Amino acid sequence: MIKYFIASIVFIVLYSCDKTKYIDHISTNFPVEASEPNLHLSNSGNIYLSYISSSPDKKESSLLFSMFDNLNYSWNKPNLIVESDKMFVNWADFPEVTTDNLNGITAHYLEMSSEKKYSYDIKIVNSTDQGFNWSNPIKLHSDNTKTEHGFVSTVNIKNGFLSTYLDGRQNELSNHDKSIRPQMTLRGTSYNIDGNILEDLLIDDRVCDCCQTDLAITENGQSIVVYRDRSEDEVRDIYYSYKKDSKWSKPINIFNDNWKISGCPVNGPAISTYKNNSAVVWYTFSKNKNQIKVVFTDNISSGFQRPILVEANDPIGRVDIELLDPNNAIISFIDIIDDKAYIKLQMITKGGSQSKLLLIDESSENRSSGFPVITLNKEKSNTIIAWTESKENFKIKTAVVDNSFFFN
């Protein structure tokens, strides 16, 4: 009880004193029932916020995006990407927009492929004029099975885009071929702005069913995917694979948490790169304790250092990460203090030091609150954060954080 009382006092002090000085809450003015936000920083420095807006009767959903106005500290009027009465809206599996080095933008969303509850495809739409006009949707994956496909992460590569995603085709194919095992797999597919599939490769043939993937690319062109694996005896720890010379490496365990769980925890890892440096954050319930861990590396082919245990109260995960430089990373997560959920930001150093916590807003443990997401501005002086408020209606909230907070 004393622990929780002290934690509550610390929260009140930090929240009341630091919020006004270091946090600017930016109104989105998006319509009600807006949720599933995601953020993207383009190579030119533009910040994109994508989200889903559903009609009051939930019969139709739209994917939209807005760009951040750096001069006026506001979000521009949203642009429609696509609308569908078959869009699959999932609290943990949200769309994304990714830009190339010219005027191209790609976006993905999920669309029901049959009447079955978990039967949906990954659809891709592209724009060559900065998002004013969009192509007809194409399917990212090559199979036609009525199974789950999702948890997509996308980066810009030299000749287009690369997406990693969870693929459930084996769950249906195994009904016709007993040599195929009914399990979720991880795949990587590249395509160009014209919608042509360039490459489709299997990365891991047995992974956790519904934890987010994350994908990043280093300055020297190595793509790195992080995800939750699934062993034969149901250990679901965090793994990674990196792509070099058109081949994905053998999946590698980041750290042996040895978290054995019979079902999916819906709590994937996140990765960020800075030049050729990488950092990963993840949630685990290792040794029956809620934990957030962070690892760094300056050479992905040499593996990661030992993990740093984040000094949180009782975290439930839903993590994200951004590298400021080779030695400092900003992380976001949801933590429980005195039976209430709060969104937190913190800086973790490669040497293991941890900044004071910055509490952004009260949230909820419920699935409807989704996953907070962060990105940096081009100068890396600010962290932009977006999250879903799920009270009477779904509402997207955003804030800009002055990163000098973490160095004081």
Residues 195, 184 contacting (CB under 8 angstroms): no
Are 221 and 158 in contact by the 8 Å Cβ rule? The answer is yes
Count other C-beta atoms under 10 Å from residue 167's C-beta.
Answer: 27
Q: Which of 239, 207, 206, 209 is nearest to 224 (CA)?
A: 239
pLDDT tens figures, 192-233 = 999 999 999 999 999 999 999 999 999 999 999 999 999 999
The single-letter code of the amino acid at 118 is Y
Which DSSP symbol is given to 403? G
Where b means 16+ CB within 10 Å and e means fewer, 118-156 reads bbbbbbbbbbbeebeebeebeebbebebbbbbbbbbbbb
Domain boundaries in the chain? 2-407
pLDDT value of residue 110: 98
CA-to-CA separations, 276 to 297, 314, 325, in angstroms, rounded: 9, 33, 10
What is the rounded (10 degree) CA torsion for 127, 128, 131, 134?
A: -30
Could you tell me which residue, 293 or 10, shows the higher pLDDT? 293
pLDDT band at 20 (very low <50, low <70, confident <90, very high): low
pLDDT at 19: 56
Domain 2-407 in this protein, CATH class:
mainly beta
Share above pLDDT 90 across residues of the chain, in percent, rounded to a whole number: 86
Question: What percent of the chain has a predicted confidence (pLDDT) above 70?
Answer: 94
Mean of pLDDT values over 88-100: 96
pLDDT tens by residue, 59-74: 899 999 999 999 999 9
CA neighbor of 282 nearest in space, from 270, 300, 272: 270
User: At 392, is the pLDDT very low, low, confident or very high (cuts 50, 70, 90)?
Assistant: confident
d(CA 264, CA 388): 22
**Average pLDDT in the chain:** 93
Helix (H) or strand (E) holding 8: helix 2-22
Six-digit token string for 335: 């933590």
- pLDDT band of 404, cuts 50, 70, 90: very high
Cβ neighbours around 57 below 10 Å, total: 6
CA distances from 269 to 49, 304, 364 (A): 20, 14, 20
pLDDT value at 126 more than 60: yes
Q: What is the mean pLDDT of residues 3-24?
A: 56
**pLDDT given at position 2:** 45
Using alpha carbons, select from 301, 302, 325 the residue that is nearest to residue 223.
301
Structure tokens at 165: 């995603």
For residue 300, give both structure tokens.
């992905």
| CA 237 to centroid of chain Cα atoms | 17
Task: Please report the pLDDT score of residue 150 as a whole number.
Answer: 97
pLDDT, mean of residues 342-351: 98
Structure tokens belonging to residue 190? 């590249």
Mean pLDDT over 117-136 rounds to 96
